[in-house]
Amino acid sequence: MHVCNTALRDSTPLVTHTPPPPKVLADLRVMGRKARLFGAIADDPMQILLARLPKALGRRLVFFEATSHEMSFDEAWLLNLFDAVHKLDHDRYCFAMRSRMSRAQASELHFLVCKAARALDV
């Protein structure tokens, strides 16, 4: 993502570059696109989760290209969710899940989220 600022005394824009997305984000994007195109792979908890989440959320997940410097809301939400699992942050995990789905849906997906988080190196 490029951020352009204009100096007060100079009309030349200052461009700063953000670092490329972390490998985990790129991997998540690739897995998300595969899940959308091919459905869930039976033995992959991440693929199963990514295939089931759209029903729980009521819409498709948005994944950007693997090399994109921007992050979609869904990508940020998933990374936050997996990070909460890794750090055993119960409050953040519950807030992330319950802010986007019902208690029943969150309960149904809990074990799958935990298994997917373990498979992802966050």
Does some domain include residue 108?
yes
pLDDT at 16: 42
The predicted structure's pLDDT at residue 14 = 42
The residue segments making up the domain with residue 38 are 20-119
- pLDDT for 49 equals 94
112 in a structural domain: yes
Residues 6+ away with beta carbon under 8 Å from 66: 21, 26, 29, 30
User: Is 7 part of any domain?
Assistant: no
Predicted structure pTM score: 0.77
Does the residue 53 lie in any domain?
yes
Q: CA angle, 84 as apex, 109 and 44 as ends, to 5°?
A: 45
Domain presence at residue 4: no
Per-residue pLDDT of the chain (122 residues; tens, 9 = 90+): 333 333 334 444 444 444 545 888 888 998 888 888 887 777 889 999 999 999 999 999 999 998 888 999 999 999 999 999 999 999 999 999 999 999 999 999 999 999 999 987 64
85 within 8 A of 113, measured Cβ to Cβ: yes
Counted domains in the chain: 1
